Amino acid sequence: MKNQLLKKLSIYILALTALTFLASCDNFERRFYEKIVQGQLNAIQNGADTFDLATITDFEWDSVILIRGNESVPYFKEEIEAFLQQQKNDVHWVYKTTDLPTNRDRFYFLTPDKKIIEKEIKSGISMHRPAFDFIYCSTDSNNERYWLSKSECQFILTSNSRKAGQGTIFMYPACTNPPAKKEEPNSWTVNEYNKDGLRIDITNHQLKNFSIHISRKNDSLTLDLNALHIPFKTPEVIWVNKDFVCISTWWSGPFARNLFIPLGKQLKEYIYIDKDIEWTDSITNNVMYVDTVLNGQVKMILENLKSRKKQLINYPLNPERPPDTYYDSLRLTKKQLTIWSDGKTRSFMLNI
């Protein structure tokens, strides 16, 4: 009888321990998103809010890194382990983790005794509104570091939407300079693209400016069109492939301006060609634009965005055509450019 009571008591204690562990895991996610939701409300009212990550953890830790999952495929453990070891090169340990499921994010907390505590939450990009994004600390003008110390995790929160439950909360750690200006009351944000872990949001600042925010995994890039002196009407995503994002910023009749963001190892660059864009090709990454119109000819440049190689194409103008229409239509393939104008066809072989 006594042995049976002890056995039942042991089972009860194990079950209680398991429930407590699960509750603590759930509590971290719940407490984290409660801070995000309340932070957005405060940021909408006051322009910004604060959030100390240490206030929602019940263990000691020195630093943390956030790994963001994908929407379509898991983030495999081998990739995570390689990334952790690459980023934390001052700690010589080999850490073994598990695959990160789709639509999940995971915090890795480094403790004072150099152990890792994992806290997994639903994706802050695809599965929660408002979304959230980290602004990382810079090591120099070109690089960022993704481990944040405990003291740096006293975040300033800002919202790019004036509507609660929409847009994105940007989390600025103590090592960065958060924007001081309060967002205009009539600004709003539209999610233009959200697929395979890549998210593109465009914020309209009362039609006086637009900002483009691109984020993926542990990387992000924000482009302020006014600051970059890029003309705009209503920017929109035209296409996305594995190499580039193409965003149209301005157009008028046959004329247009496009912005290209390379999807390399880091989101830190952009390509803006200040010419009239005639054609962009998401398959070959070729773009064609008007360079000059001179002496009865339009000089067009075909440029490959990856290699930056260029080919000059001279096309004679019909003086009877309107000044802003150089041809009727064109077709661009990998090897050939074909232009139709006034019932005639002319082809150019491509060599870039």
Indicate if the pLDDT at residue 62 is higher than 80: yes
**pLDDT band at 128; cut points 50, 70, 90:** very high
Name the residue among 194, 84, 183 with its Cα closest to residue 133.
Answer: 194
pLDDT for 13: 47
Query: pLDDT exceeding 90 applies to what percent of the chain?
Result: 42
Q: Tell me the pLDDT tens digit for each residue of 272-288.
A: 998 889 889 999 999 99
Mean pLDDT of the chain: 84
Is 66 or 6 the better-scoring residue by pLDDT? Answer: 66
Cα–Cα distance for residue pair 158/172, rounded to 1 Å: 8
Kindly report whether the global pTM for this prediction surpasses the value 0.75: no
- How many C-beta atoms surround the C-beta of residue 54 within 10 A? 12
Is 308 or 322 the better-scoring residue by pLDDT? Answer: 308
By residue count, the chain amounts to 352
Q: One-letter amino acid identity for 273?
A: I
Is 233 or 22 the better-scoring residue by pLDDT? Answer: 233
Query: pLDDT exceeding 70 applies to what percent of the chain?
Result: 85
Indicate if the pLDDT at residue 25 is higher than 50: no
pLDDT for 143: 59
Query: What is the SS3 assignment for 80?
Result: helix
pLDDT for 178: 64
Indicate if the pLDDT at residue 342 is higher than 80: yes
Phi, psi torsion values for 6, nearest 5 degrees: -65, -40
Cα–Cα distance for residue pair 346/336, rounded to 1 Å: 10
Indicate if the pLDDT at residue 20 is higher than 50: no
**Domain residue spans of the chain:** 1-185
Cα–Cα distance for residue pair 170/156, rounded to 1 Å: 8
Cα–Cα distance for residue pair 21/245, rounded to 1 Å: 43
Indicate if the pLDDT at residue 24 is higher than 50: no
pLDDT for 23: 43
pLDDT for 134: 86
Query: What is the SS3 assignment for 22?
Result: helix
**pLDDT band at 139; cut points 50, 70, 90:** low
Q: Tell me the pLDDT tens digit for each residue of 147-185.
A: 899 999 999 998 888 889 988 898 988 877 665 544 455
Indicate if the pLDDT at residue 10 is higher than 80: no
pLDDT for 136: 79
- How many C-beta atoms surround the C-beta of residue 351 within 10 A? 8
